[in-house]
Amino acid sequence: MNTRIKHNDLTHYFLRDHNQLPEAYLRSCRKFFKDLSAKQQAATNCRASKLTIDSSIKQQAPSNKRQAVALWRPGVRVKNRFNRKV
């Protein structure tokens, strides 16, 4: 077959015999799958480490204290960093 194969197209990799495909195309496909599995492994490791970090943090009971109300609003001058009105 004299059809041109694009390197970003994986259909030929799955539909044709590999001995019929150009070596450069096969190398690029193998490199793509290798990179893809490495990224997937890194994402899995990242999720696993995040889960262990999250599970190691103690859960605190909700507080019954009133939440601080922000006094600052756009256009209102504040006296200091504690957002007290002037």
**Cβ-based burial of 65 (10 A; exposed 0-12, middle 13-18, buried ≥19):** exposed
- Between 79 and 32, residue with greater pLDDT: 32
Question: Residue 47: what pLDDT?
Answer: 76
pLDDT digits (tens, 9 = 90+) for 32-59: 999 998 988 888 887 777 666 655 555 5
Question: Residue 42: what pLDDT?
Answer: 85
Question: Tokens representing 32?
Answer: 């793509």
pTM for the model: 0.50
Nearest-angstrom CA–CA distance, 15 and 49: 38
Nearest-angstrom CA–CA distance, 43 and 37: 10
Question: Residue 65: what pLDDT?
Answer: 61
Question: Residue 33: what pLDDT?
Answer: 92
